[in-house]
Structure 1
Amino acid sequence: MRLTRGQFLWLASVFELGLVVLAYALGGLLDIDPVAALRVDATGLFWGALGTLPLYGLFLLSDRLDATREIRRFLIDKMGPLLAACSGPELLYLGLLAGITEEILFRGLLQPWLELDWGWLGGLVFSNLAFALVHWITPVYALLAGVCGLYLGLMLDVGPERNLLTPILIHALYDFLAFVAVASAWRRQRAA
């Protein structure tokens, strides 16, 4: 059964918003505010926009690498039709949704919680092992997601103080750009 555009957007919304509910429920139990480090400021906006460029550059390069070509093919074949059915604002919504909700859970809650017992490096590594597992499509995809998660975790601490806005913006912009690229590739493939 193929999902309709509306069903896809609804399922994505329910799943991603469920991550925020989980973050706040766990945060309540652990006495951690998942958005304690969220500040909307020029520094976070700057690093968020600039920090998107390396990830998107790697995404563009992925089509040229044998190890990631299979993943890109999978994304185009499976996600392409769903993403191509969405409008530009809907793709932006999906990018923002994933960026905000996943970063609140992984960088806002898990990383600071794990730092309490494992220190900064342990929090960074273990929170991104969890991030990789949640993104397990193939072993290579999980590895790449884990590496991206490590990058996002490092970007949490770029600038004068920890700011959750930076990884949220990087994640959201990257996902939006990747969604547009996958939808465009699927359209080109279909037209050919």
Structure 2
Amino acid sequence: MSPNPNGPPVPPALSPEQQGTWFAYMRVMLRLGYEMNRQLQTDSDLSLPDFDVLNALADSPDGRLQLTGLATRLAWERSRLSHHLQRMSARGLVERSPSATDRRATDAVLTDAGRAALTAATPGHTDLVRRMFFDGLDPALLPALRTALEQVHEQVLVHGTLPRPGQPQRRLPGLEPAG
């Protein structure tokens, strides 16, 4: 950081390569998020945030997580999660119940209808991810891309403001590695 006589230090600018890489990432993230949300709504009557919540719960012991843990895993504000769970509860996809491990906390619980909706949505979502993300990518680049993404994620965890999320428990059908 360089000193600023009128205030806090000014961080160095991104290099041209860093800036180009960042813009490429932003284009992919924004467009892919749009396409995934559109596909899920069209094919399964789920939004991408619905799918994210259902996945996180399906990936948790007994299909339940304390709200704080779920908010951390999704990187959502607690109020956003609470409002979203209300809408999902009204549709029968999740329930809220007293925590199984802490009577002062509340758990989000995956319902049978939520699990069925996730199971029905996963093949179409997986197909879209394969077509949009992997089919145009040289398979030889996958190990380097995965390493880079894991390194960036670790930096976000180290320097971010949220606690480190719990580790995933299992893989969902259709999202496991190909044979």
TM-score, with normalisation over the residues of structure 1? 0.31
Structure (1 or 2) with the larger CA radius of gyration: 2
Higher strand residue share? 2
TM-score, with normalisation over the residues of structure 2? 0.33
Higher helix residue share? 1
